[in-house]
Structure 1
Amino acid sequence: MKNLIRKSVEAMSGYVPGEQPKGEGVIKLNTNENPWLCSPEVRDILNEIDVVELAKYPDPLCAEVRKVIAEKHEVGLANTFAGNGSDEILALCIRAFCERDGSVGYFDPSYSLYPVLAQIEEIAVKPVALDENFEWKMPKGYEASVFFLTNPNAPTGMLFPKAKVEAFIKNFPGVVVIDEAYVDFARESCMEFATKYDNVIVARTLSKSYALAGIRFGYCVGAKPLIDALHKIKDSYNVSRLTQELARVALLDEETMAAITAAVKGTRGLLTDELKALGFKVYPSETNFVWAKPPNLPAKKIFEELRNRNIFVRWFDGPRTKDCLRITVGTNEQIMTLIENLEEILGK
């Protein structure tokens, strides 16, 4: 029988998402979901769904939610794009800005979806290795069609200085996509660069700080020619009617988002302090997770021991990541249960 699968797809491993365990008693600290409730305005919309409206196609341009995004960031409507999660935006950027003989750059380690998206389009990848402290220095003469600059970075949680990011943008010949999925937990944002430079896209998501990973909504801001290109190649109705409305009201409720991020930051401090007390090396985090290297035992062993106790954290196999665990900031109660179990595992 003839092989019907593209050779490049057959050769791929594909993206490996975080485990989604089911059942009671599970403590899930592995996929950076937000344990706090989303905006009450969102809950009101869900309680008032008009099923008649669900029979109609959504606005293909997401105009109403994009108006809110434009006002939030003080940019023109033409500088905004709405997507089915920020992952769709990342994929569209490769399709829009990479020729077949082009390349995609990103930090190693960073979001492991980037190389997968490039492989799907059969585009070469040019990762830039972070140093032993997970900082970066671009190789002399480095070029790529698109560079995904994750800030704050994942899985390390570290924030790269704006001045360093801007210096890179000024000297980079391609499109810089600044992935700010976790920026609401950080000290500063690079959003201003989205309209200051003509080669920058800044991508955001409602999955983290807005506690809405389940609705799949992301957006980006950038120069009009870049945004126009994304609109040309997107799916016809890429964001559902319900998601557009939920995202719109969530973005308007800045008070709830501020309260959520403040709570996460507080518990992040607790988690950091408790891990350090156990001997972990904890890297400075500006996200809703921490990146920590355990003492005495291998990270994989601790990951497995915790999993056996229905506590799920993230361990990434690979030479740059295998010595650390990525732990989502949960509730205070979840964190203290985690710490108690780590004490037993480490024999403290």
Structure 2
Amino acid sequence: MSARHDHGPGHAHGERRRPLLVRVLLHPAIAAGLSLTDWDLLLRQARRSNLAGKLAELMEVGGWLAALPAPVQPHLRSALLLSRRQVQMLRREVDLLRQTLDELAGPLILLKGAAYALGEHAPALGRMFSDIDLLIPPEQLPRCETLLLVHGWDFDEDLDAYDQRYYREWMHELPPLHHKRRGTSLDVHHTLLPPTARTALDSRALFDAPRPLPGLPGVFVLPPEDMLLHSAAHLFHEGELPNGLRDLFDLDALMREFGAIDGFWPRLAERARRIGLSRPLWLALRYTRVLLDTPYPDALPAELGPPPGPLALRLLDACYRRALRPDHDSCRLPGHALAESALYVRSHWLRMPFGLLALHLTRKAWGRLTAVPEAPKVDAPRDA
């Protein structure tokens, strides 16, 4: 049922080659033996990967936090407070959204971080997120937009006419919204992939059986199979690499949680084939196993159809083994920038046909060339 793990000398060598952050998140007990120099590096890697909250929660849950070196503890306790406060604010914000959109006929389905947190799923442990993602039926989109604008939401003022057209004609969501008073960010989706994507997605099936959230009438989350498939599509189709390692740990947590449900794995494979997300799931299975030792039935990938060809797989491995590492200089492998660029192009290639892709990239490149340089900002270093 689960992955077979080699615990011989080769396995130990492989562990040493993993970034420190990955080793600690997979085996939290080793954190108790780290030096202050190790902790300095670990905290920097965690912050850059948006995983400081997860690290802090693991230390707290495991009972190690109070025994860690005194200079380390304030950083972790601050991350704990921040992640837990965010969940409290999220519940209030979702309740306000529910009231704002109460007249919509279709369900309001939370996605990603908001769904993990309010659905109390495994990836929610210490997880930080910057916006709320909402899925609604496409026919409800015009009324939804009107209601949000009336109740204090507005689109990003930096979006020009082309950006607005890009979102409305070619993307799977409205342009990003922000509440003018509360500062909350919101992404409203009507499907999970752009309508122009090369992957044929059965969008209507996403509304087959959403699961209600207790205490929030009219608000739902996706069922386990669809929740995991969306997480896979978000990382391996849409190419959201700035939080790639965090999203890979999300997938690992979902597989470990849902894998304990009787009959989950056959239903997951069938569902992936049914709605058209077999390839993102195949990639999710490959890289969670390779990078995080995620357990799942060994025969599962073969049930998803043929794998990528040998050359394509070598290229994907070369790119993802570099891109899915902590976003810190200590973790970069040779060719990291090239790998990220290749995956960026791949995500756009999957997102739209060639003619539209060429038009879009040319338009964005011209915009960068002609943009007026901003005055330099004085900010704290990202590692600070």
Q: TM-score, normalised by structure 2?
A: 0.24
Structure with greater proportional helix content: 2
Structure with greater proportional strand content: 1
Q: TM-score, normalised by structure 1?
A: 0.25
